[in-house]
Structure 1
Amino acid sequence: MKSNFYLIRIFFFRLLKMAFPIYGYVLLMIIYTQIDTILIGIFNGDNSVALYSTAVRLSNPFIIFASAITITFFPIIVNKLKEKKDVAKIIGSVVSLLILFSSTISLFIFFYSKDIIRIVFGENYMEASEPLQFLGISIIFLFINFFLVDLLTAFEKQKNNFIYGILINLLSLPFYFIFLPEYSYVSASIIKLSVIFVGSIYLFLSVNRIVKIRIHIFKLMIWFFLNFIVFSFLQNLNLYYAIFIECIFVSISILILRVLTYDEIMTILSMLNIEKFMNKFSFWVEK
Structure 2
Amino acid sequence: MSVSKNYILNIVMTITGILFPMITFPYISRILMPEYLGKVAFSQSISSYFITLSLLGIPIYSIRELSKNKYNQYEFEKVFTELIIIGLVGSLISFVFFQIMINNFDIFIEHKSLLMIFSVQIFLSFINIDYIFIVLENHKRRVIRSLILRGVSLFLMINFIKKDSDYIIYACIIIFPELLIKILDFYSVKKYLNFKINYEIKKHIKPLSILFLTTISISLYDQIDTTMIGIINGDEAVGLYSSAVKMSRILIPIIGALSTVIGPQLIYNIKEKNKKEIYKKIDIFLDFNFFIGFQMVFILEILSKNIIIFFAGEKYSSASSTMQVLLPIIIFISIGSFMGGRILTSNNLEKIPLRCNLIALFLNISMNFIFIPKYGILGAGISTVITEGINCILKSLSVKKLYKDYVILTTDRIKYITIGIIISVLIKNFKENLNSLDNFLVIVITGSIYICLYFFILLMFKDKIILKYLEVISEKLKNIKKKYGRSIFDAKQK
Partner of 1:231: 427
Aligned residue among 309, 314, 325 for 1:123: 314
Secondary structure of 1:26's aligned partner = helix
| 1:146 Cα deviation from its structure 2 partner | 2.3
Aligned residue among 43, 66, 69 for 2:255: 66
Greater CA deviation, 86-95 or 199-208? 86-95
Partner of 1:220: 416
Answer yes or no: is 1:256 the counterpart of 2:460: yes
| 1:88 Cα deviation from its structure 2 partner | 2.3
In 2, Cα distance between equivalents of 1:256 and 1:35: 46
Partner of 2:383: 191
| 1:89 Cα deviation from its structure 2 partner | 4.1
Secondary structure of 1:189's aligned partner = helix
Aligned residue among 447, 450, 475 for 1:243: 447
| 1:234 Cα deviation from its structure 2 partner | 3.6
| 1:113 Cα deviation from its structure 2 partner | 1.0
Contact 1:99–1:144 under 8 Å retained in 2:
no
Partner of 1:3: none
Contact 1:91–1:213 under 8 Å retained in 2:
no
| Aligned amino acid, residue 176 of structure 1 | N
| 1:161 Cα deviation from its structure 2 partner | 1.5
Which residues in structure 2 correspond to 1:132-211 (within 5 Å)? 132-149=323-340, 150-211=342-403
- Runs of 4+ off more than 6 Å: none
In 2, Cα distance between equivalents of 1:96 and 1:20: 33
Partner of 1:76: 265
In 2, Cα distance between equivalents of 1:98 and 1:252: 19
| Aligned amino acid, residue 144 of structure 1 | I
Distance 1:276 1:127, change over 3 A: closer
| 1:222 Cα deviation from its structure 2 partner | 2.0
Partner of 1:30: 219
In 1, Cα distance between equivalents of 2:301 and 2:402: 34
Contact 1:89–1:213 under 8 Å retained in 2:
no
| 1:218 Cα deviation from its structure 2 partner | 3.6
The percent of aligned pairs where both chains have the same amino acid is: 24
Structure 1's unaligned 5+ residue stretches are 1-10, 281-287
Distance 1:111 1:170, change over 3 A: same
In 2, Cα distance between equivalents of 1:255 and 1:213: 27
Greater CA deviation, 56-65 or 12-21? 12-21
Distance 1:70 1:28, change over 3 A: same
Aligned residue among 236, 241, 244 for 1:52: 241
Secondary structure of 2:348's aligned partner = coil
The normalised TM-score by structure 1 is 0.82
Partner of 2:287: 96
Determine which structure has more spread, i.e. the larger CA radius of gyration: 2
The normalised TM-score by structure 2 is 0.49
| 1:13 Cα deviation from its structure 2 partner | 5.0
| 1:183 Cα deviation from its structure 2 partner | 0.8
Distance 1:148 1:278, change over 3 A: farther
The superposition leaves residues 248-283 of structure 1 with CA deviations (integer Å, 9 ceiling, x where unpaired) of: 22223334345x646x986xx7xxxx9855789xxx
In 1, Cα distance between equivalents of 2:217 and 2:331: 21
Secondary structure of 1:154's aligned partner = coil
Structure 2's unaligned 5+ residue stretches are 1-199, 435-441, 477-494
Answer yes or no: is 1:42 the counterpart of 2:231: yes
| Aligned amino acid, residue 422 of structure 2 | L
Q: Which structure has the higher relative contact order (CA within 8 Å, separation 6+)?
A: 1
In 1, Cα distance between equivalents of 2:208 and 2:288: 31
In 2, Cα distance between equivalents of 1:78 and 1:162: 19
In 1, Cα distance between equivalents of 2:339 and 2:288: 13
| 1:175 Cα deviation from its structure 2 partner | 0.9
Distance 1:199 1:257, change over 3 A: farther
